[in-house]
């Protein structure tokens, strides 16, 4: 421990320069009182000069404490430390010889104090410590010895003995302090190392998740899209049922993948919320439309009760708002065999908060499990996964999201009678201007007829799926296999919209998009990312290259057609990035 020891000593010395100079002024004043002469004043001037030189010499160590000082620099620091002590304690000698009895007592106390001071502040580096301690010790022990010899007063040697005793105690104390400091530094270094390892592990986990997510989404896109295409063909009842099983299982897998990604994002503190006006009733209506068929199929009534005083609009993160309610509704319908599921919405005006309660008449949750269902990977009982599927992540994510939005998510339940999940979301009420909420955006699917669409994707299966999905809408599709081909064709042929994959050989989608945006006849053509890279960083990267929308694989055929139609319809606002994960 030598290198940073010099820097540490330099920093401590800089910090205490003011008090050292103030003390010097006091000592000089005492010297002048006890033995008036010009010397105390001269001493002060010399002290100022030597402290200034020390300050100047140590400036590099203060500026860059991590740099390793050269051997010559270390020697200079040690010489400077000795010089400073010799000068500073010069007054000790003056007081000893010319200050009378009081001067001697003062000199000894000052020498002992100085010794203590440098021992505590310079013990980080042995060479520095010795350079500062030796001159002090010489004053401390040498002055009484010199007097004993010069003035033939052997009794003075007793002071030397006292001084030696004092120094032996000091050595023990300094050793102790040194050991404590070293222990502390070792513990700090260990903590730093552990933190680096944790950061590296977390980065590796994120990379792993990104790769796994991409690799699973790509084949899943083929499976789900093919199943969706198959559903549109002429099938008998049994075949249709099998295709629906494929589609349902695919949807569960996508949900699972999204849950795992969301959960790890929240855990890593990387989930960022948006704040924008949201049309409360429009959002709830779209959720109702989404879940009604499932409720009907299960013989359960789905009701939405919205209190009259609920504001039309609130400022919140609409995507996450929808995600929480989606999870709660999905659970309520999953665990309710008969009866009803009610979504009640109220406005807590004094606290400016939306209160949303999802109540069901389902199986209920045993009291001893209630506290645990919000923990990750927890289900009310072990048979749940077997009977209903699921991972136990939905509620953990929903509660964390509600908390991040400044609210909470609570539950009450009675086994056999049902459960009520209540979300409280503080939000500012706003008046909605027409079309301010993305849920209001509509575009005619017929808008795709005759539209020239360029799609870049390196997988042959994906290209085939795109043509099977889009050509029935009347799109004229141009398919290319990588970014470079997309950039080349964009130089000459005008398109109404461009669908761009992210990872492609030769040139990836982001680079190609930059190329298309920088020159050629498609600089302003709407560009839609259609990718298996579903993480936030990817979304942000697409945002940066000016993509108008970000769609993830597996492709949702309805969403794809709607997004493309919106992109191809100039009348519809085109400046927002459609959040569609």
- Name which of 498, 518, 519 is nearest 509 in CA terms: 498
Q: Which stretch binds ligand ADP (CB under 6 A): 103-111, 385-393, 537-545, 555-563?
A: 385-393
* 362 near ligand ADP, rule: CB under 6 A: yes
Please tell me whether residue 32 adopts helix, strand or coil conformation: helix
Q: Which stretch binds ligand ADP (CB under 6 A): 3-11, 203-211, 379-387, 450-458?
A: 379-387
* 391 near ligand ADP, rule: CB under 6 A: yes
Q: Segment 540-569, which members bind ligand ADP (CB under 6 A)?
A: none
Q: Which of 363, 484, 502, 564 binds ligand ADP (CB under 6 A)?
A: 363
* d(C-alpha 490, C-alpha 581), whole Å: 27
Q: Which is nearer to ligand ADP, 365 or 484 (CB)?
A: 365
Give the nearest distance from C-beta 274 to ligand ADP in angstroms: 24
Q: Report the residue number whose CB is nearest to ligand ADP.
A: 390
Q: If you count them, how many residues does the chain have? A: 581
* d(C-alpha 531, C-alpha 215), whole Å: 11
Tokens of residue 258, six digits: 């999204």
Give the nearest distance from C-beta 310 to ligand ADP in angstroms: 23
Q: Can you give the three-state secondary structure of 44-112, one letter per residue?
A: HHHHHHHHHHHHHHCHHHHHCCCCCCCHHHHHHHHHHHHHHHHHHCHHHHHHHHHCHHHHHHHHHHHHH
Q: Which is nearer to ligand ADP, 82 or 420 (CB)?
A: 420
* 360 near ligand ADP, rule: CB under 6 A: yes
* Per-residue binder mask for ligand ADP (CB under 6 A), 412-431, x = binder: -------x------------
- Name which of 13, 91, 92, 25 is nearest 51 in CA terms: 13
* 394 near ligand ADP, rule: CB under 6 A: yes
* Size of the residue set binding ligand ADP (CB under 6 A): 20
Q: Which stretch binds ligand ADP (CB under 6 A): 71-79, 104-112, 218-226, 358-366?
A: 358-366
Give the nearest distance from C-beta 176 to ligand ADP in angstroms: 54
* 393 near ligand ADP, rule: CB under 6 A: yes
* d(C-alpha 140, C-alpha 133), whole Å: 10
- Name which of 219, 560, 472 is nearest 227 in CA terms: 219
Q: Taking every pair of C-alpha atoms in the chain, what is the biggest distance, in angstroms?
A: 125
* 395 near ligand ADP, rule: CB under 6 A: yes
Instruction: Round to the nearest angstrom and report the end-to-end CA distance of the chain.
Output: 53
Q: Segment 318-337, which members bind ligand ADP (CB under 6 A)?
A: 327, 331-332, 335
* d(C-alpha 353, C-alpha 226), whole Å: 44
Residues lying near ligand ADP in the complex (CB under 6 A) are found at 327, 331-332, 335, 360, 362-363, 365, 373, 379-380, 384, 390-396, 419
């Amino acid at each position: 421990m030598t290198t940073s020891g010099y820097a540490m000593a330099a920093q401590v010395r800089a910090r205490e320069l003011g008090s050292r100079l103030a003390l010097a002024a006091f000592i000089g004043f005492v010297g002048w009182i006890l033995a008036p002469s010009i010397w105390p004043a001269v001493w002060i001037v010399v002290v100022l000069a030597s402290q200034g030189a020390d300050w100047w010499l140590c400036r590099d160590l203060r500026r860059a404490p991590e740099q390793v000082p050269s051997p010559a620099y270390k020697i200079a620091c040690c010489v400077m430390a000795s010089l400073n002590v010799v000068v500073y304690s010069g007054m000790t000698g003056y007081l000893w010889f010319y200050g009378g009895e009081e001067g001697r007592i003062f000199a000894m106390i000052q020498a002992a104090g100085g010794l203590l001071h440098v021992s505590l502040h310079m013990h980080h580096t042995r060479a520095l410590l010795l350079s500062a301690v030796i001159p002090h010790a010489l004053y401390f022990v040498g002055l009484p010895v010199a007097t004993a010899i010069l003035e033939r007063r052997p009794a003075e040697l007793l002071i030397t003995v006292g001084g030696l005793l004092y120094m032996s105690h000091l050595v023990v104390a300094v050793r102790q302090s040194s050991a404590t400091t070293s222990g502390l530094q070792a513990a700090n270094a260990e903590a730093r190392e552990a933190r680096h390892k944790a950061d590296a592990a977390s980065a590796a986990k994120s990379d792993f998740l990104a790769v796994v997510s991409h690799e699973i989404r790509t084949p899943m896109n083929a499976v789900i899209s093919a199943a969706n295409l198959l559903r549109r063909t002429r099938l008998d009842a049994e075949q249709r049922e099998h295709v629906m099983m494929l589609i349902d299982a695919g949807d569960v897998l996508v949900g699972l993948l999204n849950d795992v990604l969301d959960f790890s994002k929240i855990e890593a503190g990387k989930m960022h919320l948006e704040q924008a006006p949201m049309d409360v009733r429009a959002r709830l209506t779209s959720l109702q439309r989404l879940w009604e068929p499932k409720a009907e199929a299960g013989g359960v009534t789905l009701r939405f009760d919205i209190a009259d005083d609920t504001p039309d609009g609130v400022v919140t993160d609409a995507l996450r708002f929808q995600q929480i309610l989606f999870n709660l509704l999905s659970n309520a319908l999953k665990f309710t065999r008969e009866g009803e599921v009610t979504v009640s919405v109220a406005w807590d005006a004094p606290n400016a908060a939306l209160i949303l309660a999802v109540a069901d008449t389902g199986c209920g949750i045993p009291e001893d499990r209630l506290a645990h269902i919000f923990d990750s990977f927890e289900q009310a009982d072990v048979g749940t996964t077997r009977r209903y599927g699921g991972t136990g992540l939905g509620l953990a994510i929903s509660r964390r999201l509600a908390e991040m939005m400044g609210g909470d998510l609570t539950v009450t339940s009675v086994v056999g009678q049902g459960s009520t999940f209540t979300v409280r979301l503080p939000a500012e009420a706003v008046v909605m201007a027409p079309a301010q909420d993305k849920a209001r955006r509509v575009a005619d699917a017929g808008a795709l007829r005759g539209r020239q669409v360029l799609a870049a994707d390196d997988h042959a299966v994906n290209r085939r799926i795109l043509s099977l999905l889009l050509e029935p809408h009347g799109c004229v599709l141009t398919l290319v296999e990588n970014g470079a081909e997309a950039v080349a064709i964009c130089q000459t042929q005008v398109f109404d919209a461009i669908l761009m994959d992210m990872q492609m050989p030769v040139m990836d989608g982001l680079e190609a998009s930059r190329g298309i945006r920088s020159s050629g006849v498609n600089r302003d053509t709407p560009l839609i990312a259609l990718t298996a890279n579903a993480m936030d960083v990817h979304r942000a990267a697409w945002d940066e290259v000016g993509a108008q929308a970000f769609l993830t694989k597996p492709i949702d055929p309805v969403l794809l057609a709607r997004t493309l139609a919106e992109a191809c319809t100039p009348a519809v606002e085109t400046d927002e990035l459609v959040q569609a994960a």
